[in-house]
Amino acid sequence: MISAGRLRFPATQLVPSATQDGLGLRTDTWANGETFQADLRSDDAVEQSYADGVAVVRQWEVRARWNRVEEIGLDETNRISIRGKTLRIRGITNLDERDMVAVISCEEVA
């Protein structure tokens, strides 16, 4: 179970654009979706090669109520905006398969 007091931060689901460019590829834009209350916990940070340089990749854990995550259709193709951070979702776990707590594993590239 998750305590309502832990769900301190409002989070926004970012939904990928449905528009396509001239080559038929999806454009890299995001639209605001639904909001939900969440808890944000940092896991770790590591420096690694990224694109044409070096970047710090931080791992985050976001916890929310399972029924709300299911209700808004949050999945790994979405992003989450929380506390000024835009996080890419790596995976969503139903904690102990109890349909109470969603543990969302995310990363932020800084």
Query: So where are the chain's domains?
Result: 4-109
pLDDT above 90 (res 109): no
pLDDT for residue 27: 77
Q: Which tokens in the block code for residue 1?
A: 């179970």
* Model confidence pLDDT, tens digit, residues 52-93: 889 899 999 999 999 999 999 999 999 999 999 999 999 999
Query: What does pTM read for this prediction?
Result: 0.86
Q: Say if residue 106 is exposed, middle or buried (CB neighbours under 10 Å; 0-12, 13-18, 19+).
A: buried
CATH 2.40.10.270 corresponds to the domain 4-109: yes
Q: Is there a contact between 78 and 14 (Cβ–Cβ < 8 Å)?
A: yes
Mean pLDDT of the chain: 91
Tell me the CA distances in angstroms from 7 to 24, 29, 70, 90, one per residue in order. Answer: 40, 28, 17, 20
Q: How many alpha carbons lie under 13 Å from residue 110 in its C-beta half-sphere?
A: 13
